[in-house]
Structure 1
């Protein structure tokens, strides 16, 4: 019996134990995707998606790591995080090596003004004579994707904040004329404050459509095809739709299952 126990123990030592690999995911304040991650509260769409990925399999553990809109490039390039999600290669990633996985999700940036009896959609045609409220660090199409606060303030009479809610309040109080707000965030804000819905005029004009990608470092523990396969499973079982459609984030066909982009 002792010989059998020793043999079994030896076999156990020889059996490989596959440790769960931790994938660190950058979490920068980008409501409703990520909301104040530095506070340690798991709120927003990113934590929901990471929970779904963790429950789907046992090989990887996706862990959010607090970052910020301007700092996320350095965190990614220096290896503090392995992956960022809800990104677009046009948002300042041109000089950083990564692999991109199409998430098949689309959001948009819309213009919002205060509702007035004589105000129609043509109000949004010309921004040159209007005071704007923008989110600091965002890349806007109307401004050539230049996020410089000085540039936006000088060329577009812009006030920059770190809150879409603050920008909407400035519109309603007449402190600015137009705010640009992510459609998903506007959906959330109006759902939480239904009384103000009749007070806002939302543009049919769209500044840009966000087609979301996940970007992975070349040294990330998970490879791009593996992540693409996991996201496809979440699409197939309906979890992607359940997480994102309530916020008017469109679940769309992927432009390409996997795109390797290495500057």
Structure 2
């Protein structure tokens, strides 16, 4: 039997149902560029949700409902074009020194520090002084990375003309070259080396790690001027993850330091 009261109740419940899902459907999509940079991002083009960026995105999405963060695969050389053309809104784990000088952006200090270290094969006669001079060494480097010892110039022709280099797209391969005597020194991030030794415990005694640091990675998130999120809003979210302990939980196991973020 038709009942106006029952019909009105149903309509009210339907309306409440629509309202209950409105906040999530209204969330603005923010695309974070994911370039292969282990352990931060690992082969994003394969669709694998591995690496620290994937964990950070989960934490950001759990923290709030105004924005929906997703990772969009890019590459080390392609990320500049993707950023300028609006394919990605945020370039993350970056530094303005790494080729971003002429690209408009807002830099957000993430308060994260890693370091690039030199690694060679452990030999009886080899000491820390081995890392003092790079000119006479065979270097295994990651193609596209900006190294301090080379004045942050990642151009392959420049590197080849000034150093004896082999360029690859794999830190694992570079360390294997060192272990097999095909390269004298590889440069890797401290975070990657920590993860590599955990995965390959048997190689630790065969590696000599430099006390010399090539550069300290002080990480920034670079926000595109037309991005749906502002640098200020993104910075507040990162602070929220510091406050609830998620930043420490994600990055401390990889020996990535949380440092103070300058206010203002």
Q: Structure 2 length as normaliser, TM-score?
A: 0.92
Q: Tell me, yes or no, if structure 1 residue 66 matches structure 2 residue 98.
A: no
Give the equivalent residue in structure 1 for 2:95. 88
d(CA) in 2 for partners of 1:257, 1:44: 29
d(CA) in 2 for partners of 1:206, 1:98: 28
Give the equivalent residue in structure 1 for 2:42. 35
Show the 5 A alignment for 1:81-230. 81-230=88-237
Give the equivalent residue in structure 2 for 1:261. none
Deviations 1:119-173 (A, max 9, x none): 1100000011110000000000000100011211221110000000100000000
SS in 2 for 1:93: coil
Change (3 A) 1:229 1:257: same
d(CA) in 1 for partners of 2:260, 2:42: 27
Are the equivalent residues in 2 in contact too, given 1:22–1:60 (CA < 8 A)? yes
Deviations 1:58-91 (A, max 9, x none): 1111000000000000000000001111000000
- Structure 2 unpaired stretches of 5+: none
Q: Tell me, yes or no, if structure 1 residue 248 matches structure 2 residue 235.
A: no
Are the equivalent residues in 2 in contact too, given 1:101–1:257 (CA < 8 A)? no
d(CA) in 2 for partners of 1:191, 1:126: 29
SS in 2 for 1:147: coil
Q: Runs in 1 of length 4+ with deviation above 2 angstroms?
A: 1-9
Say how many residue pairs are matched: 256
d(CA) in 1 for partners of 2:263, 2:156: 35
Q: Tell me, yes or no, if structure 1 residue 75 matches structure 2 residue 82.
A: yes
d(CA) in 1 for partners of 2:263, 2:75: 28
Deviation for aligned residue 1:8: 6.2
Give the equivalent residue in structure 1 for 2:59. 52
Are the equivalent residues in 2 in contact too, given 1:136–1:162 (CA < 8 A)? yes
Q: Structure 1 length as normaliser, TM-score?
A: 0.92
d(CA) in 2 for partners of 1:113, 1:165: 13
- Structure 1 unpaired stretches of 5+: 259-263
d(CA) in 1 for partners of 2:137, 2:4: 85
d(CA) in 1 for partners of 2:174, 2:155: 18
